[in-house]
Amino acid sequence: MFDFYVKTGIYLFCFILSIYSLNALDFNRFLKQGKTVQGQLLFFILSCVLAYLLGNFFMAIIYRFN
């Protein structure tokens, strides 16, 4: 049960970190005019994917040296 909370915490931390880091990019330059909903969805999907990859990386490091 403790393992579930650790994984959830790591993924949540990585999700917040990925949103924070993706805010540095100017997505308006890459989007078409009037496509704000699709742009927000793309931002959310990229945040989830980046958080998943980063979370798996951190967990692999933690479990490797544990």
Number of domains in the chain: 1
Prediction pTM value: 0.85
> What string of H, E and C letters represents the secondary structure of the chain?
CHHHHHHHHHHHHHHHHHHHHHCCCCHHHCCCCCCHHHHHHHHHHHHHHHHHHHHHHHHHHHHHCC
> What is the band of 1 on the pLDDT scale with cuts at 50, 70, 90?
confident
Host domain of residue 59: 2-64
Q: How far apart, in Å, are the Cα atoms of 17 and each of 23, 52, 65? A: 10, 11, 23
What tens digit of pLDDT does each residue of 45-66 get?
Answer: 999 999 999 999 999 998 888 7
Contact between 18 and 47 (Cβ < 8 Å)? yes
